[in-house]
Structure 1
Amino acid sequence: METDLVTFELKNNIAYVGLNRPRKMNALNFDMFKAIDHVIQKIAKNRNITAVILFGAEANFSSGLDVKSLSKQPSKAVSLLFKWLPGNANLAQRVSIGWQRLPVPVIAVIQGCCFGGGMQIALGADMRIAQPTAKLSIMEAKWGLVPDMAGLASLRQVMAKDKALQLTYTADILSANEAQALGLVTEVVDDAMARAESLVKQFQQTSPDAIAAIKHSINKSWNGSIRALLSRESISQIRLLIGKNRLIAAIRQTKNPDKSYRPRQSWW
């Protein structure tokens, strides 16, 4: 599904993904959910992509769920929430947790408003770089809803439980600096896009297989048992050592450390 509601551009092996409904402050309707899910699947299949930068069009990330639009289309609201098994991710959840499941770094660039469903999508990114003027809120309670787009999977990793409860109970709107102090935002800088691109260039100087293994291990083990963590670390290291890229790091350190790595291997 190609749609102008979510733009996709590939430059220097970086996927630029834009939420593109600016007249609605990039509010999320059903077609946008479908388009985001499609883009995530598209990125997952392209082994040449080394990083993703996720942003919103025209100075806003996203104002959240377009409640009015979905209330007029009850069948689509059902489709958004439907799942065969309770533990599976439905469409609404895949647009957040899907970014975590990609084997490449994902950075959300946050400008303007980042509310509700928009915040849940941003929480799915590995890092969130915000402009100083950005405003952020976990706003679902204001509309009589529970945060149900899988953003809590990330929220529990970046802030204390009592603070998460406070934010979700009150639906408070935070400044970028307040959000950073709580862990919702990784950095606050004047030019968030330039900072994201600078970070990606750094990532591209390291092994894509190592990054994929690190991301997988951290996401799976962050709240898991020590035994599971030790097992994943060992398995990942063995796969890296016997893989095709096993000598690249040593060669690049001695001969050409500034050269970018080739695409990741298929088993990540």
Structure 2
Amino acid sequence: MSGQSVQVKIDDGIAYVLLNRPEKMNAINYLMFSELDRAIKQIKSNRGVRAVIVSGAGGNFSSGLDVKSVMSAPMQAVKLLFKGLPGNANLAQRVSLGWQNLPVPVIAVLEGCCYGGGMQIALGADVRIASHDCKLSIMEAKWGLVPDMAGLVALRQIMPKDQAMLLSLTAKVLEGNEALTLGLVTQVSETPMEVAQQLAQQLMQTSPDAAAAIKLSINRSWTASVRSLLCRESISQIRLLLGKNCKIAAARQLKEPQKPYQDRQSGW
């Protein structure tokens, strides 16, 4: 599953996704976009994966778009932005939105710089754990651009509109603790990778089907109508009750705490 600029390793149910261009501070070129998109699709098809941890090599998450690389090859820019219909996600948007569409929890480990496109990728994760000295910025305005990698899908749910507007307009650089205060990250730590691994292990103690249903329900129902929310909850609950992992969860609570879960049901 690994490529030249994105490494993927699956260890004991956890998929580790590493942005791996440390010599460029993990700046995102066309190859990295493509390999991230492919990694997300491959993880989604692997029903044995229980959690994902996304991080960057060399002490940085990502410095953002590799503008020089992308602009030097106009056809790459076209491929990044092309979409069949305006409401579909293009390649640049799928590397952020794709994490939300995975049926497993996704944790981003943020260290060093997390700018522009890197911030957009991180916003796609369900949880963001940053180091205290991490530098974060929605930086597109500095380049005369609009943030267009679908990070706003998550941003509009985790921050007040005025704060999101201010950060996007000013391209202000935040450190970990300030980002935590504003809700841009979930937690700060001196050892973010260690915290992420502990969290992943904790998340794996519950049914993979329940985790998929909960993530689906929260993501799709957060701004949906009450009727849509109620419908989705009922359908998901019936599916869970009919599945084997629900029975295993009950057994783990009552008499067999170490009984292993089965792989996630297909269809989540």
Post-superposition Cα deviations, 1:194-243, rounded to whole Å, max 9, x if no partner, equal: 10011111111100000000000100011111111111111100110112
Which residue is equivalent to 1:140? 140
Secondary structure in 1 aligned to 2:8? strand
Aligned to 1:214: 214
Are the counterparts in 2 of residues 204 and 261 from structure 1 also a CA contact under 8 Å? no
Alignment match, 1:47: 47
* Distance of aligned partners of 1:251 and 1:133 in 2 relative to their CA distance in 1, 3 Å threshold: same
- In structure 2, the CA distance between the partners of 1:203 and 1:2, relative to structure 1 (3 Å rule), is closer
CA distance in 2, matches of 1:76, 1:98: 20
Q: Name the CA shift for 1:152/1:223 in 2 (closer, same or farther; >3 Å).
A: same
* 1:244 alignment counterpart: 244
Runs in 1 of length 4+ with deviation above 4 angstroms? none
Deviation at 1:257, TM superposition (A): 2.2
Q: Deviations over 1:87-123 (max 9, x none)?
A: 1000000000000000000000000000000000000
Letter in 2 for 1:173: V
SS at match of 1:245: helix
Residue in 1 aligned with 2:182?
A: 182
Tell me, in whole angstroms, the C-alpha distance in 1 between the residues paired with 2:62 and 2:188.
18
Q: Contact 2:96–2:122 at 8 Å: present in 1 too? A: yes
Name the SS for the 2:244 alignment partner: coil
CA distance in 1, matches of 2:194, 2:135: 19
Match of 2:198 in 1: 198
Percent identical: 64
Q: What residue is the counterpart of 1:150 in the other structure?
A: 150
Q: CA deviation at 1:2?
A: 4.6
Q: Aligned equivalents of 2:131 and 2:2: distance in 1?
A: 29
CA distance in 2, matches of 1:246, 1:211: 11
- Report whether the alignment pairs 1:81 with 2:86: no
The answer to whether the Cα contact below 8 Å between 1:6 and 1:20 also exists between their aligned partners in 2 is: yes
In 1, Cα distance between the equivalents of 2:2 and 2:85? 28
Query: Shift of the alpha carbon at 1:262?
Result: 2.3
The DSSP-based 3-state class of the residue aligned with 1:108 is strand
| Equivalent residues in 2 for 1:36-75, closer than 5 Å | 36-75=36-75
Structure 1 gaps of 5+ residues are none
1:91 match: 91
CA distance in 1, matches of 2:258, 2:225: 37
The equivalent of 1:116 in structure 2 is 116
Secondary structure of the 1:83 match is coil
CA deviation string 1:44-67 (max 9, x = no partner)? 110010000000001000000011
Query: Runs of 5+ in structure 2 lacking a partner?
Result: none
User: C-alpha displacement at 1:154, in angstroms?
Assistant: 0.3
Computed over aligned residues only, the root mean square deviation of the Cα atoms, in angstroms, reads 1.0
SS at match of 2:10: strand
TM-score (norm 1): 0.98
Give me the whole-angstrom Cα distance separating, in 2, the residues matched to 1:3 and 1:107.
Answer: 21
SS of structure 2 residue aligned to 1:3: coil
Q: Which residue of 2 aligns with 1:173?
A: 173
Q: How far off its partner does 1:3 sit?
A: 1.6
Amino acid at match of 1:266: S
Task: Tell me the amino acid that sits aligned with residue 162 of structure 1.
Answer: D
Task: Give 1:245 deviation, angstroms.
Answer: 2.2
Contact 1:205/1:259 (CA < 8 Å) preserved in 2? no
Count of aligned pairs between the two proteins: 268
Deviations 1:119-146 (A, max 9, x none): 0000000000011110100000000000
